[in-house]
């Protein structure tokens, strides 16, 4: 006999990527930014007084909202802060989904979405992306109350054009909500923020984890109509983000110059890494994120993953349809990427000439 | 037409206490500890490197778990960390409750519980405490899958003996879970931690907000059987507590000497404030928390609340059954308590001699 709800008892929890530590490791498995956060972040943290820790923080993270509103050119009331993007996904599923109110998403994608459906005891409807990761038309006819589009998508790095996303939002209008999970959008050439203003049923989710190098901080935010924000606010815990995180995230988003410089460095390494992997015989589609999904042509991907891990080089491998022949590799620093390329050369070479 | 689930559309969110700021105010309305956190906390925060912010934190807060396990004499696997006690309450309601799976709690109590029931779309069964805040016998027969006992209770400050709580847990065994919300237990003379080891259906909830002066940090933890912890872990977000909070909370719980010194100071002021309010004509039952619930005998409580607020002295007033004639007052520093007492004397005096 279990005390838990049957859906909770039955479900498997989300399995996060390994978080190994150590000086010698090369960690390219969970899409962290390879560069440190803005020095202003450390200053802001140092400026938080004991008195601010003693008292409850702002339940609406006002300081951050003001800055994020400026950056995104929306009113502060259109922004809701959360304890990492994952919390916003949880809040959205709890707000819109339930028994008879499905969640839908195109696959393969972020493996947290089915876990959230299971924990909310709602149907999770999966619709497959086509070969080139175009949006599947069936997504229009799922009857879902919430559809999540990860854009850029993980783990493919592919990107659906904002005009296509707008068509989807238009079709859902009056019926259901479209949440665009833009956790990786800082590394893309476009984004969908404007759709949150143009549509009453669109939520844009942003994260400070990747573009702003603050995965350790747990800070994300949603952009949506004031009406949607007001409803989501009722579901979130009152004080869901702490005083230190508010101070740090506010300093980070204010320092756009530092942020944009880091983004350019990652994009430039992404291009170099992509080319080098192609030279090694991998098939690497264009990525708009801070990782690439490299298809092993002459080599077993699971085996390559194991051999990299043995060398303390961590990438991500998913034993799932369409992914079992690929490695998802976070774009690291030049040195980290070089270490990966060197190891892959050795691993491929060990097979002899025929395997390149 | 609303995009939200009907229960979300219909519900009111939790209304947190006012968080006014300013140098001149006396803030005795949301039960913050009047003394700053341990100096070790500030040191620990200063020691967090940019690299730790860049990377994901420990999803199980291992450093904190080790220390909390020592303090509470339980295995680390019996501890689950959360982003403030409120997050743990949310996780528990999502884990055990749903349609046909009620939540129950004795009232009057923490006003978040009915909000969590509404957001989970489960029945919220309220059973009234008796006059002296003894545990009502009807609590045994609610059919709830989760019962929450706030102990010490807010806003009454009353305490149910651990032996009585054990009897309740025993009756629920094999049927449902008992969560003892010990947010205020650091100010009580006993606690129920041992019940989490002796029963497979008991969750003890602790908070670092009150006793450890860290409301701004959002850090709490649950103590329960390893089986319950494993299930709750599936429902929580993977990285629900950030790297700065883990470092700060770990330093705080390690510094037991500082913590115990602060607790004694609060208890001593609680006794002084209670006596002084009785001398002013209030009726003040014994409190085991860091606040007192003072009954206005000769005076309208709502009016007294307004007049205190006008003087920038903030206490909490609830316009609810059994509470509408009372003020809930957080125990402050000596100066803050004196400011409150002085203002109350003026307010009472303004009525003339007949009102004392």
- DSSP string over A97-109: -BTTB-EEEEES-
pLDDT above 70: residue A307: yes
DSSP state of A117: H
ipTM computed for the complex: 0.95
Residues present in chain B in total: 356
How confident is the prediction for chain A on average, in pLDDT?
96
Chain A CB contacts of B177 below 8 Å? 3
What's the confidence (pLDDT) of residue B289? 98
- Helix, strand, coil proportions of chain A in percent (round to 5)? 45, 15, 40
* pLDDT band at residue A1 under the 50/70/90 scheme: confident
Chain A CB contacts of B226 below 8 Å? none
A316 touches chain B (CB under 8 A): no
Distance CA B14, CA B147 (A): 19
- Buried b / exposed e along A2-15 (16+ C-beta atoms within 10 A): ebbbebbeebebbe
What residues contact A24, with CB distance under 8 A and at least 6 apart?
A: A312
Question: Tokens 């040195």 correspond to what residue?
Answer: A335
Contacts across the A-B interface (CB distance below 8 Å): 234
Q: Which SS3 state, helix, strand or coil, does residue A123 take?
A: coil
DSSP state of B155: T
- Pairing mode, strands A220-223 and A79-82: antiparallel
Chain B CB contacts of A234 below 8 Å? 8, 11-13, 115, 119
CB distance B57 to B241 below 8 Å: yes
Distance CA A302, CA A274 (A): 20
What's the confidence (pLDDT) of residue B350? 75
**8 Å CB contact of B45 and A45:** yes
**8 Å CB contact of A86 and B237:** yes
What's the confidence (pLDDT) of residue A356? 40
Tokens linked to A21:
């530590």
Tokens linked to A349:
């070479």
Chain A residues 319-338 with CB within 8 Å of chain B = none
- Residue in B61, B49, B40, B42 with CA at minimum distance from that of residue B241: B61
Tokens linked to B319:
């316009």
* pLDDT band at residue A347 under the 50/70/90 scheme: very high
The C-alpha angle with vertex A329 and arms to A323 and A334, in degrees rounded to 5, equals: 160
Helix H, strand E, coil C: the string for B167-193 is HHHHHHCCCCEEEEECCCHHHCCCCCH
Best mutation target, B27, B51, B53, B258, to test chain A (most A CBs within 10 A): B53
Radius of gyration of chain A from Cα atoms? 21
Distance CA A258, CA A37 (A): 9
Q: Write the DSSP assignment of A249-265 as a string of letters.
A: HHHHHH-HHHHHHHHHH
Radius of gyration of chain B from Cα atoms? 21
Distance CA A30, CA A28 (A): 6
The tens-digit pLDDT sequence of chain B (356 residues) is 799 999 999 999 998 888 888 888 999 999 999 999 999 999 999 999 999 999 999 999 999 999 999 999 999 999 999 999 999 999 999 999 999 999 999 999 999 999 999 999 999 999 999 999 999 999 999 999 999 999 999 999 999 999 999 999 999 999 999 999 999 999 999 999 999 999 999 999 999 999 999 999 999 999 999 999 999 999 999 999 999 999 999 999 999 999 999 999 999 999 999 999 999 999 999 999 999 999 998 789 999 999 999 999 999 999 999 999 999 999 999 999 999 999 999 998 875 544 44
What's the confidence (pLDDT) of residue A351? 58
Best mutation target, A18, A19, A50, to test chain B (most B CBs within 10 A): A50
CB distance A225 to A196 below 8 Å: yes
pLDDT above 70: residue A354: no
Strand partners, B291: B330
Distance CA A59, CA A234 (A): 12
Nearest by CB to A55, from B54, B215, B219: name it: B215
- Residue in A94, A101, A144 with CA at minimum distance from that of residue B120: A94
Question: Tokens 């860091």 correspond to what residue?
Answer: B290
Q: Write the DSSP assignment of A46-70 as a string of letters.
A: HT--HHHHHS---TT-HHHHHHHHH
Percent of chain A with pLDDT over 70: 98
CA neighbours closer than 13 Å in the CB half-sphere of residue B69: 15
- Residue in B108, B157, B153 with CA at minimum distance from that of residue B288: B157
- Pairing mode, strands B220-223 and B79-82: antiparallel
Minimal C-alpha gap between B272 and chain A (Å): 23
Chain A residues 237-296 with CB within 8 Å of chain B = 237-245, 248
What's the confidence (pLDDT) of residue B355? 42
Taking the C-alpha atoms of B62, B68, B69 and B74 in order, what is their torsion angle to the nearest 10 degrees? Answer: -130
CB distance B253 to B81 below 8 Å: no
User: Which whole-number Å values give the CA distances from A71 to A65, A119, A205, A255, B105, in the listed order?
Assistant: 10, 34, 14, 11, 45
Distance CA A67, CA A12 (A): 38
**8 Å CB contact of B37 and A52:** no
B82 touches chain A (CB under 8 A): no
DSSP state of B98: B
């Amino acid at each position: 006999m279990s005390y838990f709800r049957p859906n909770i008892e039955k479900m498997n929890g989300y399995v996060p990527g390994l978080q190994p530590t150590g000086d010698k490791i090369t960690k390219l498995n969970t899409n962290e930014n390879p560069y440190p956060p803005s020095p202003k972040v450390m200053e802001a943290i140092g400026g938080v007084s004991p008195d601010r820790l003693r008292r409850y923080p702002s339940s609406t993270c006002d300081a951050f909202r003001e800055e994020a509103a400026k950056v995104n050119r929306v009113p502060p009331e259109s922004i809701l802060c959360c304890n990492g993007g994952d919390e916003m996904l949880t809040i959205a599923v709890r707000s819109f989904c339930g028994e008879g109110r499905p969640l839908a998403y195109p696959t393969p994608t972020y493996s947290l979405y089915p876990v959230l459906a299971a924990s909310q005891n709602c149907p999770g409807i999966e619709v497959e992306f086509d070969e080139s990761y175009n949006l599947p038309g069936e997504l229009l006819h799922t009857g879902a109350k919430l559809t999540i589009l990860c854009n850029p998508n993980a783990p493919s790095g592919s990107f659906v054009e904002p005009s296509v996303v707008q068509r989807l939002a238009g079709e859902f209008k009056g019926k259901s909500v479209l949440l665009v999970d833009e956790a990786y959008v800082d590394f893309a050439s476009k984004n969908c923020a404007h759709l949150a203003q143009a549509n009453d049923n669109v939520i844009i989710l942003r994260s400070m984890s990747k573009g702003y190098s603050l995965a350790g901080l747990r800070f994300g935010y949603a952009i949506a109509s004031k009406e949607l924000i007001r409803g989501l606010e009722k579901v979130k815990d009152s004080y869901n983000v702490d005083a230190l995180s508010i101070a740090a995230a506010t300093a980070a988003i204010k320092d756009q110059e530092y942020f944009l410089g880091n983004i350019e460095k990652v994009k430039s390494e992404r291009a170099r890494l992509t080319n080098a992997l192609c030279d090694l015989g991998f098939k690497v589609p264009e990525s708009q994120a801070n990782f690439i999904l490299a298809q092993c042509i002459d080599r077993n991907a699971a085996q390559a993953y194991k051999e990299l891990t043995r060398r303390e080089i961590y990438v991500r491998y998913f034993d799932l349809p369409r992914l079992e022949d690929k490695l998802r590799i976070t774009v690291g620093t030049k040195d980290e990427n070089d270490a990966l390329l060197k190891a892959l050369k050795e691993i491929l070479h060990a097979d002899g000439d025929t395997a390149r």
